[in-house]
Structure 1
Amino acid sequence: MLLELAIKAKQCYPRCDGIDKFIAAYGVHVLAMQKISDSDVDFYAVLGVTDSLAADTHTIKRSYNKLALMVHPDKNPSAVADGAFKHISEAWEVLSEPSKRQIYDL
């Protein structure tokens, strides 16, 4: 509900500072809650990578860097920025190493 309101606020007031960061932080949490199994988070979705099979390390790194800048607690005043940053850091930790990524993909 809060995320939808933020998106509508962005549509009404596109120049309003901070809404993009707010949306990014809450969006990460929403994606992290959509699990692919009982305990596994979809790390590709958390990082905003749509095609997990075609994604190379460069694509994953680019997505991580973009999100990290938006949700880092030092740059984002949102109350959930710290948790969002932890989610994307965990996703990066798994998907950036080929051995961990291969295990995760299985």
Structure 2
Amino acid sequence: MVDDLALLKFSSQEKYNVVKIKNDVQKNEKILATGFPFQDNFTQSPQLKYTMGYVKKILHQPLIGGYQLGYSNNIYSGMSGGSILNEKGELIGINALGSYPFLGNHYIYQNGTIISEK
């Protein structure tokens, strides 16, 4: 598995708004997913794309890689690393795993149990 998220610490004369992280997510909560999808020529879009949707599933335990939220938003290739925000603009997650990953089975709990296709 490849990690593609980094936390950077920096100093600046500019003041930046820092996103608040919210840990208690509710099923059916309205959310906004963001990212920079790939364009037709497979380059990253310079335009931020966002899609509206709802939290549809909160797994009782995380998958390998920490994935635990399922949501109804359309997520396009390249949006990995984009934020998932609630209606208050609080960060509830990071886009990382598509609905139909093409490299192996990612639907395995951290304890090694494979999730049924149902």
TM-score of the aligned structures, taking structure 2 as reference length? 0.26
Higher-strand-fraction structure:
2
Higher alpha-carbon Rg: 2
Higher-helix-fraction structure:
1
